[in-house]
Amino acid sequence: MGSMWTRWRQWGLGTGLALVASSVLANSPIVIGEINSYKAQAAFLGPYLKGMELAVEHINAAGGVLGRPLKLVTRDDNASPSDAVRAAEELVRREKVDVLAGTFLSHVGLAVADWSGRNQVFFLASEPLTDKITWEKGNAYTYRLRASTYMQSSMLVPEAVKANKKRWAIIYPNYEYGQSAAETFKQLLKAAQPQVEFVAEQAPALGKVDAGAVTQALLDAKPDAIFNVLFGTDLTKFVREGNTRGLFEGRTVVSLLTGEPEYLDTLKQETPNGWIVTGYPWQGIQTPEHMAFLKAYQAAYKEHPRLGSVVGYTTIQAIAAGIKRAGKTDSESLVKAFKGLSLSSPFGPVSFRPQDNQSTMGAYVGRTRLVNGQGVMVDFQYRDGAAHQPPDAEVKRLRPAP
Protein backbone atom coordinates (compact mmCIF):
# COMPACT_ATOMS: atom_id res chain seq x y z
CA MET A 1 0.00 0.00 0.00
CA GLY A 2 2.80 2.37 0.97
CA SER A 3 4.67 1.57 -2.23
CA MET A 4 1.57 2.32 -4.33
CA TRP A 5 1.07 5.58 -2.44
CA THR A 6 4.68 6.52 -3.12
CA ARG A 7 4.27 5.84 -6.82
CA TRP A 8 1.08 7.92 -6.98
CA ARG A 9 2.75 10.75 -5.09
CA GLN A 10 5.77 10.67 -7.39
CA TRP A 11 3.54 10.61 -10.46
CA GLY A 12 1.55 13.53 -9.13
CA LEU A 13 4.68 15.47 -8.25
CA GLY A 14 6.21 14.83 -11.67
CA THR A 15 3.03 15.88 -13.41
CA GLY A 16 2.86 18.99 -11.28
CA LEU A 17 6.45 19.91 -12.11
CA ALA A 18 5.77 19.34 -15.80
CA LEU A 19 2.72 21.60 -15.62
CA VAL A 20 4.73 24.26 -13.79
CA ALA A 21 7.53 24.04 -16.37
CA SER A 22 5.00 24.28 -19.18
CA SER A 23 3.41 27.31 -17.55
CA VAL A 24 6.79 28.99 -17.07
CA LEU A 25 7.69 28.39 -20.72
CA ALA A 26 4.32 29.71 -21.87
CA ASN A 27 4.86 32.94 -19.92
CA SER A 28 8.57 33.35 -20.63
CA PRO A 29 9.47 35.88 -23.32
CA ILE A 30 10.70 35.07 -26.79
CA VAL A 31 14.04 36.84 -26.85
CA ILE A 32 15.33 38.57 -29.99
CA GLY A 33 19.05 39.28 -29.93
CA GLU A 34 19.84 42.31 -32.10
CA ILE A 35 23.30 43.50 -33.15
CA ASN A 36 24.02 46.87 -34.77
CA SER A 37 26.34 49.85 -35.23
CA TYR A 38 24.31 52.15 -32.99
CA LYS A 39 27.09 54.59 -32.15
CA ALA A 40 28.69 54.65 -35.60
CA GLN A 41 25.46 55.04 -37.63
CA ALA A 42 23.16 56.84 -35.20
CA ALA A 43 21.17 58.76 -37.84
CA PHE A 44 19.71 55.54 -39.21
CA LEU A 45 19.87 53.27 -36.19
CA GLY A 46 18.31 55.56 -33.60
CA PRO A 47 15.02 55.56 -35.55
CA TYR A 48 15.55 51.87 -36.37
CA LEU A 49 15.62 51.02 -32.65
CA LYS A 50 12.46 53.06 -32.10
CA GLY A 51 10.77 51.15 -34.93
CA MET A 52 11.70 47.83 -33.35
CA GLU A 53 10.48 48.90 -29.92
CA LEU A 54 7.18 50.10 -31.39
CA ALA A 55 6.64 46.74 -33.10
CA VAL A 56 7.42 44.85 -29.89
CA GLU A 57 4.91 47.05 -28.06
CA HIS A 58 2.21 46.45 -30.68
CA ILE A 59 2.75 42.68 -30.78
CA ASN A 60 2.83 42.29 -27.00
CA ALA A 61 -0.30 44.42 -26.61
CA ALA A 62 -2.04 42.01 -28.99
CA GLY A 63 -1.07 38.97 -26.92
CA GLY A 64 2.46 38.30 -28.08
CA VAL A 65 3.48 35.39 -30.29
CA LEU A 66 2.38 31.85 -29.44
CA GLY A 67 0.97 33.38 -26.27
CA ARG A 68 4.40 34.66 -25.20
CA PRO A 69 5.67 38.25 -25.09
CA LEU A 70 8.61 39.40 -27.20
CA LYS A 71 11.73 40.79 -25.55
CA LEU A 72 14.43 42.73 -27.40
CA VAL A 73 18.08 42.57 -26.30
CA THR A 74 20.50 44.78 -28.27
CA ARG A 75 24.28 44.95 -28.59
CA ASP A 76 26.48 47.54 -30.32
CA ASP A 77 28.97 46.03 -32.76
CA ASN A 78 31.16 49.17 -32.92
CA ALA A 79 31.06 48.88 -36.73
CA SER A 80 33.47 45.96 -36.34
CA PRO A 81 32.96 42.46 -37.81
CA SER A 82 34.91 40.83 -34.96
CA ASP A 83 32.93 42.70 -32.30
CA ALA A 84 29.69 41.71 -34.04
CA VAL A 85 30.66 38.03 -34.01
CA ARG A 86 31.57 38.24 -30.31
CA ALA A 87 28.17 39.86 -29.66
CA ALA A 88 26.42 37.06 -31.54
CA GLU A 89 28.23 34.42 -29.50
CA GLU A 90 27.42 36.21 -26.24
CA LEU A 91 23.75 36.65 -27.11
CA VAL A 92 23.29 33.01 -28.10
CA ARG A 93 25.51 31.31 -25.50
CA ARG A 94 24.94 33.51 -22.45
CA GLU A 95 21.69 35.38 -23.06
CA LYS A 96 20.05 32.31 -24.67
CA VAL A 97 18.26 34.42 -27.28
CA ASP A 98 15.83 32.62 -29.56
CA VAL A 99 16.76 34.46 -32.77
CA LEU A 100 19.42 36.85 -34.06
CA ALA A 101 18.73 39.96 -36.13
CA GLY A 102 20.25 43.23 -37.25
CA THR A 103 23.50 44.70 -38.63
CA PHE A 104 23.82 47.78 -40.83
CA LEU A 105 27.24 47.77 -42.49
CA SER A 106 27.61 45.12 -45.17
CA HIS A 107 30.98 43.73 -44.06
CA VAL A 108 29.63 43.40 -40.52
CA GLY A 109 26.47 41.68 -41.79
CA LEU A 110 28.56 39.21 -43.78
CA ALA A 111 30.57 38.32 -40.66
CA VAL A 112 27.45 37.60 -38.60
CA ALA A 113 25.87 35.70 -41.49
CA ASP A 114 28.97 33.51 -41.76
CA TRP A 115 28.86 32.85 -38.01
CA SER A 116 25.15 32.02 -38.12
CA GLY A 117 25.67 29.56 -40.98
CA ARG A 118 28.57 27.79 -39.29
CA ASN A 119 26.75 27.60 -35.95
CA GLN A 120 23.31 26.87 -37.43
CA VAL A 121 21.63 29.85 -35.74
CA PHE A 122 18.81 31.69 -37.52
CA PHE A 123 19.76 35.28 -38.44
CA LEU A 124 17.56 37.94 -40.05
CA ALA A 125 19.89 40.53 -41.59
CA SER A 126 17.70 43.58 -41.47
CA GLU A 127 19.75 46.26 -43.24
CA PRO A 128 23.10 45.25 -44.84
CA LEU A 129 22.65 45.67 -48.59
CA THR A 130 25.48 43.66 -50.15
CA ASP A 131 24.33 41.06 -52.68
CA LYS A 132 26.80 38.55 -51.28
CA ILE A 133 24.77 38.02 -48.12
CA THR A 134 22.09 36.12 -50.06
CA TRP A 135 24.13 35.05 -53.10
CA GLU A 136 27.86 34.22 -53.13
CA LYS A 137 28.14 33.93 -49.36
CA GLY A 138 24.54 32.97 -48.65
CA ASN A 139 23.60 30.16 -46.28
CA ALA A 140 20.42 28.43 -45.19
CA TYR A 141 20.30 30.18 -41.80
CA THR A 142 20.55 33.78 -43.06
CA TYR A 143 17.64 35.78 -44.48
CA ARG A 144 17.73 39.44 -45.51
CA LEU A 145 14.91 42.00 -45.24
CA ARG A 146 16.04 45.21 -46.97
CA ALA A 147 16.25 45.58 -50.76
CA SER A 148 19.79 44.70 -51.88
CA THR A 149 22.27 46.74 -53.90
CA TYR A 150 21.24 44.80 -57.01
CA MET A 151 17.56 45.52 -56.42
CA GLN A 152 17.99 49.23 -55.75
CA SER A 153 20.43 49.66 -58.64
CA SER A 154 17.93 47.87 -60.87
CA MET A 155 15.29 50.38 -59.79
CA LEU A 156 17.56 53.34 -60.64
CA VAL A 157 18.98 52.17 -63.96
CA PRO A 158 15.80 52.80 -66.03
CA GLU A 159 15.84 56.41 -64.84
CA ALA A 160 19.53 56.68 -65.69
CA VAL A 161 18.84 55.34 -69.18
CA LYS A 162 16.12 57.97 -69.71
CA ALA A 163 18.71 60.66 -69.03
CA ASN A 164 20.62 59.35 -72.07
CA LYS A 165 24.09 60.40 -70.84
CA LYS A 166 27.26 58.86 -72.22
CA ARG A 167 30.09 59.78 -69.85
CA TRP A 168 29.56 58.60 -66.27
CA ALA A 169 31.58 59.09 -63.10
CA ILE A 170 31.09 56.99 -59.97
CA ILE A 171 31.81 57.72 -56.32
CA TYR A 172 31.32 55.16 -53.55
CA PRO A 173 32.63 54.26 -50.07
CA ASN A 174 35.42 51.72 -50.43
CA TYR A 175 33.98 48.77 -48.53
CA GLU A 176 31.64 45.92 -49.36
CA TYR A 177 28.39 47.86 -49.80
CA GLY A 178 29.92 50.59 -51.95
CA GLN A 179 31.90 48.17 -54.08
CA SER A 180 28.85 45.98 -54.64
CA ALA A 181 26.57 48.90 -55.53
CA ALA A 182 29.06 50.46 -57.96
CA GLU A 183 29.77 47.19 -59.76
CA THR A 184 26.10 46.31 -60.08
CA PHE A 185 25.16 49.74 -61.42
CA LYS A 186 27.92 49.60 -64.01
CA GLN A 187 26.88 46.15 -65.19
CA LEU A 188 23.17 46.95 -65.41
CA LEU A 189 23.64 50.35 -67.07
CA LYS A 190 26.10 48.94 -69.62
CA ALA A 191 23.68 46.15 -70.47
CA ALA A 192 20.84 48.63 -70.96
CA GLN A 193 22.90 51.34 -72.71
CA PRO A 194 26.02 49.77 -74.28
CA GLN A 195 27.47 53.07 -75.50
CA VAL A 196 28.06 54.48 -71.99
CA GLU A 197 31.60 55.15 -70.76
CA PHE A 198 32.79 55.24 -67.16
CA VAL A 199 35.35 58.02 -67.16
CA ALA A 200 36.13 58.38 -63.45
CA GLU A 201 35.82 56.36 -60.27
CA GLN A 202 36.43 57.65 -56.75
CA ALA A 203 36.38 55.26 -53.78
CA PRO A 204 37.22 57.02 -50.49
CA ALA A 205 37.38 55.04 -47.27
CA LEU A 206 34.11 54.90 -45.33
CA GLY A 207 33.77 57.98 -43.13
CA LYS A 208 36.98 59.54 -44.45
CA VAL A 209 36.06 61.27 -47.70
CA ASP A 210 38.31 64.12 -48.76
CA ALA A 211 35.45 66.01 -50.37
CA GLY A 212 37.60 68.65 -52.01
CA ALA A 213 39.91 66.14 -53.68
CA VAL A 214 37.18 63.81 -54.96
CA THR A 215 35.06 66.71 -56.21
CA GLN A 216 37.99 68.11 -58.16
CA ALA A 217 38.81 64.68 -59.59
CA LEU A 218 35.26 64.32 -60.84
CA LEU A 219 35.29 67.83 -62.31
CA ASP A 220 38.53 67.07 -64.12
CA ALA A 221 36.96 63.99 -65.74
CA LYS A 222 34.17 66.14 -67.26
CA PRO A 223 31.40 63.53 -66.88
CA ASP A 224 27.87 64.00 -68.20
CA ALA A 225 26.41 62.17 -65.21
CA ILE A 226 27.39 60.89 -61.75
CA PHE A 227 26.38 57.80 -59.81
CA ASN A 228 26.80 58.43 -56.08
CA VAL A 229 26.77 55.80 -53.34
CA LEU A 230 28.03 57.90 -50.41
CA PHE A 231 25.81 58.28 -47.33
CA GLY A 232 25.95 59.75 -43.84
CA THR A 233 28.61 62.39 -43.10
CA ASP A 234 30.47 61.45 -46.30
CA LEU A 235 27.40 62.43 -48.32
CA THR A 236 27.00 65.74 -46.48
CA LYS A 237 30.62 66.72 -47.11
CA PHE A 238 30.45 65.68 -50.77
CA VAL A 239 27.22 67.60 -51.44
CA ARG A 240 28.55 70.72 -49.72
CA GLU A 241 31.77 70.67 -51.72
CA GLY A 242 29.97 69.77 -54.94
CA ASN A 243 27.53 72.63 -54.50
CA THR A 244 30.38 75.07 -53.80
CA ARG A 245 32.36 74.02 -56.89
CA GLY A 246 29.41 73.63 -59.23
CA LEU A 247 29.95 69.90 -59.76
CA PHE A 248 26.24 69.11 -60.10
CA GLU A 249 25.29 71.97 -62.42
CA GLY A 250 24.06 70.68 -65.77
CA ARG A 251 24.78 67.06 -64.79
CA THR A 252 22.46 64.15 -64.10
CA VAL A 253 23.08 62.68 -60.64
CA VAL A 254 21.75 59.25 -59.69
CA SER A 255 22.21 58.56 -55.99
CA LEU A 256 21.56 55.49 -53.89
CA LEU A 257 19.89 56.11 -50.49
CA THR A 258 20.03 59.94 -50.67
CA GLY A 259 16.23 60.24 -50.58
CA GLU A 260 16.11 58.77 -47.08
CA PRO A 261 15.06 61.34 -44.47
CA GLU A 262 18.07 60.33 -42.36
CA TYR A 263 20.22 62.17 -44.92
CA LEU A 264 17.81 64.78 -46.32
CA ASP A 265 17.09 65.99 -42.78
CA THR A 266 20.82 66.59 -42.35
CA LEU A 267 21.37 68.22 -45.74
CA LYS A 268 18.52 70.70 -45.16
CA GLN A 269 18.99 73.77 -47.39
CA GLU A 270 22.03 72.17 -49.06
CA THR A 271 19.83 69.51 -50.67
CA PRO A 272 20.51 69.54 -54.43
CA ASN A 273 17.50 69.71 -56.72
CA GLY A 274 16.68 67.00 -59.20
CA TRP A 275 18.86 64.09 -58.10
CA ILE A 276 17.36 60.70 -58.99
CA VAL A 277 17.32 58.76 -55.72
CA THR A 278 16.00 55.85 -53.73
CA GLY A 279 14.55 56.82 -50.38
CA TYR A 280 11.48 57.22 -48.19
CA PRO A 281 9.04 60.09 -48.89
CA TRP A 282 7.16 59.64 -45.63
CA GLN A 283 5.14 62.83 -46.11
CA GLY A 284 3.47 61.64 -49.31
CA ILE A 285 2.75 57.91 -48.93
CA GLN A 286 -1.01 57.51 -48.63
CA THR A 287 -1.44 53.73 -48.49
CA PRO A 288 -3.50 52.37 -45.55
CA GLU A 289 -0.53 50.35 -44.22
CA HIS A 290 1.75 53.34 -44.18
CA MET A 291 -0.82 55.76 -42.77
CA ALA A 292 -1.46 53.41 -39.83
CA PHE A 293 2.28 53.08 -39.18
CA LEU A 294 2.86 56.84 -39.50
CA LYS A 295 0.08 57.66 -37.06
CA ALA A 296 1.31 55.15 -34.49
CA TYR A 297 4.95 56.22 -34.80
CA GLN A 298 4.21 59.92 -34.47
CA ALA A 299 1.94 59.25 -31.48
CA ALA A 300 4.67 57.25 -29.76
CA TYR A 301 7.69 59.46 -30.48
CA LYS A 302 6.33 62.93 -31.43
CA GLU A 303 8.48 62.98 -34.57
CA HIS A 304 8.30 61.72 -38.12
CA PRO A 305 9.67 58.28 -39.01
CA ARG A 306 12.85 57.70 -40.97
CA LEU A 307 13.55 54.76 -43.22
CA GLY A 308 15.32 53.11 -40.30
CA SER A 309 12.01 53.26 -38.42
CA VAL A 310 10.29 51.25 -41.17
CA VAL A 311 13.11 48.70 -41.37
CA GLY A 312 13.20 48.23 -37.59
CA TYR A 313 9.44 47.87 -37.35
CA THR A 314 9.29 45.39 -40.21
CA THR A 315 12.22 43.37 -38.84
CA ILE A 316 10.27 42.58 -35.67
CA GLN A 317 7.04 41.98 -37.59
CA ALA A 318 8.85 39.50 -39.86
CA ILE A 319 10.36 37.61 -36.93
CA ALA A 320 6.95 37.44 -35.23
CA ALA A 321 5.32 36.16 -38.43
CA GLY A 322 8.05 33.54 -38.86
CA ILE A 323 7.73 32.27 -35.30
CA LYS A 324 3.96 32.15 -35.60
CA ARG A 325 4.20 30.14 -38.81
CA ALA A 326 6.82 27.79 -37.32
CA GLY A 327 4.89 27.26 -34.10
CA LYS A 328 8.21 27.22 -32.24
CA THR A 329 11.43 29.20 -31.94
CA ASP A 330 14.27 26.82 -32.78
CA SER A 331 16.47 27.75 -35.74
CA GLU A 332 15.65 24.74 -37.90
CA SER A 333 11.93 25.47 -37.64
CA LEU A 334 12.48 29.17 -38.42
CA VAL A 335 14.59 28.36 -41.48
CA LYS A 336 11.70 26.34 -42.88
CA ALA A 337 9.03 28.84 -41.83
CA PHE A 338 10.74 31.79 -43.56
CA LYS A 339 10.76 30.03 -46.94
CA GLY A 340 8.04 31.91 -48.82
CA LEU A 341 6.86 33.67 -45.63
CA SER A 342 4.48 36.56 -46.35
CA LEU A 343 3.58 39.49 -44.12
CA SER A 344 2.26 43.03 -44.26
CA SER A 345 4.67 45.94 -43.78
CA PRO A 346 4.31 49.74 -43.81
CA PHE A 347 5.34 49.46 -47.48
CA GLY A 348 2.71 46.81 -48.22
CA PRO A 349 3.03 43.04 -48.74
CA VAL A 350 6.47 41.48 -48.31
CA SER A 351 7.56 37.88 -48.82
CA PHE A 352 10.83 35.97 -48.54
CA ARG A 353 11.98 34.26 -51.73
CA PRO A 354 12.68 30.53 -51.25
CA GLN A 355 15.45 30.57 -53.86
CA ASP A 356 17.79 32.99 -52.05
CA ASN A 357 16.22 34.03 -48.70
CA GLN A 358 15.82 37.62 -49.94
CA SER A 359 12.69 39.59 -49.10
CA THR A 360 10.68 41.43 -51.73
CA MET A 361 10.55 44.63 -49.69
CA GLY A 362 10.90 47.40 -52.26
CA ALA A 363 11.99 51.02 -52.29
CA TYR A 364 10.73 54.39 -53.45
CA VAL A 365 12.39 56.03 -56.46
CA GLY A 366 11.97 59.76 -57.08
CA ARG A 367 13.81 63.07 -57.23
CA THR A 368 15.16 65.42 -54.58
CA ARG A 369 13.78 68.92 -54.20
CA LEU A 370 14.45 71.74 -51.79
CA VAL A 371 11.13 72.93 -50.31
CA ASN A 372 11.05 75.66 -47.65
CA GLY A 373 14.64 74.98 -46.65
CA GLN A 374 14.19 71.24 -46.35
CA GLY A 375 15.04 68.42 -48.75
CA VAL A 376 12.16 66.13 -49.76
CA MET A 377 11.46 63.46 -52.37
CA VAL A 378 9.04 64.31 -55.17
CA ASP A 379 7.70 62.55 -58.27
CA PHE A 380 8.19 59.24 -56.49
CA GLN A 381 6.94 55.73 -57.18
CA TYR A 382 7.17 52.56 -55.13
CA ARG A 383 9.14 49.81 -56.85
CA ASP A 384 8.17 46.34 -55.66
CA GLY A 385 11.28 44.33 -54.89
CA ALA A 386 9.77 41.25 -56.51
CA ALA A 387 10.06 42.95 -59.91
CA HIS A 388 13.75 43.78 -59.48
CA GLN A 389 15.42 40.41 -59.12
CA PRO A 390 17.69 38.54 -61.53
CA PRO A 391 16.39 35.39 -63.24
CA ASP A 392 16.24 32.30 -61.05
CA ALA A 393 18.91 30.62 -63.20
CA GLU A 394 21.29 33.49 -62.41
CA VAL A 395 20.51 33.26 -58.69
CA LYS A 396 21.19 29.53 -58.79
CA ARG A 397 24.54 30.19 -60.42
CA LEU A 398 25.48 32.83 -57.86
CA ARG A 399 24.28 31.10 -54.69
CA PRO A 400 26.19 28.11 -53.34
CA ALA A 401 24.37 24.79 -53.15
CA PRO A 402 23.08 24.05 -49.63
Query: Is the per-residue pLDDT at 15 higher than 70?
Result: no
Q: Which amino acid is it at 173? A: P
User: What's the pLDDT score for residue 22?
Assistant: 43
In a domain, 31, yes or no: yes
Closest by CA to 123, choosing from 84, 163, 82, is: 84
In a domain, 21, yes or no: no
In a domain, 12, yes or no: no
Q: Of 4-8, 251-255, 356-360, which range is least confident?
A: 4-8
User: What's the pLDDT score for residue 17?
Assistant: 41
**HEC string for the chain:** CHHHHHHHHHHHHHHHHHHHHHHHHHHCCEEEEEEECCCCCHHHHHHHHHHHHHHHHHHHHCCCECCECEEEEEEECCCCHHHHHHHHHHHHHCCCCCEEEECCCHHHHHHHHHHHHHHCCCEEECCCCCHHHCCCCCCCCEEECCCCHHHHHHHHHHHHHHHCCCEEEEECCCCHHHHHHHHHHHHHHHHHCCCCEEEEEECCCCCCCCHHHHHHHHHHHCCCEEEECCCHHHHHHHHHHHHHHCCCCCCEEEEEEEECHHHHHHHHHHCCCCCEEEECCCCCCCCHHHHHHHHHHHHHHCCCCCHHHHHHHHHHHHHHHHHHHHCCCCHHHHHHHHCCCEEEECCEEEEECCCCCEECCCEEEEEEEEECCEEEEEEEEEECHHHCCCCHHHHHHHCCCC
Q: What average pLDDT does the chain have? A: 94
User: What's the pLDDT score for residue 10?
Assistant: 53
Evaluate whether 181 touches 153 at the Cβ level (below 8 Å). Answer: yes
Evaluate whether 66 touches 324 at the Cβ level (below 8 Å). Answer: yes
In a domain, 402, yes or no: no
User: What's the pLDDT score for residue 402?
Assistant: 74
In a domain, 392, yes or no: no
Q: Which domain holds residue 236?
A: 150-281+364-387
pLDDT, mean of residues 339-351:
98
User: What's the pLDDT score for residue 20?
Assistant: 40
Same domain, 326 and 242: no
Same domain, 274 and 298: no
In a domain, 382, yes or no: yes
Q: Provide the percentage of residues in the chain whose pLDDT is more than 70.
A: 94
Same domain, 227 and 270: yes
Query: Is the per-residue pLDDT at 8 higher than 60?
Result: no
Same domain, 247 and 369: yes
CATH number at residue 291: 3.40.50.2300
In a domain, 372, yes or no: yes
Query: Is the per-residue pLDDT at 5 higher than 50?
Result: no
User: What's the pLDDT score for residue 208?
Assistant: 96
Same domain, 236 and 379: yes
In a domain, 199, yes or no: yes
Same domain, 48 and 131: yes
Same domain, 103 and 244: no
Same domain, 383 and 242: yes
How far is residue 198's CA from residue 154's CA, in Å, rounded to a whole number? 18
* Greater pLDDT, 20 or 376: 376
Same domain, 255 and 370: yes
User: What's the pLDDT score for residue 401?
Assistant: 78
Q: Provide the percentage of residues in the chain whose pLDDT is more than 90.
A: 93
pLDDT, mean of residues 110-115:
98
Interval 165-192: pLDDT, tens: 999 999 999 999 999 999 999 999 999 9
Same domain, 208 and 301: no
Interval 278-302: pLDDT, tens: 999 999 999 999 999 999 999 999 9
Same domain, 216 and 276: yes
| Number of domains forming the structure of the chain | 2
User: What's the pLDDT score for residue 24?
Assistant: 46
Same domain, 189 and 140: no
User: What's the pLDDT score for residue 361?
Assistant: 98
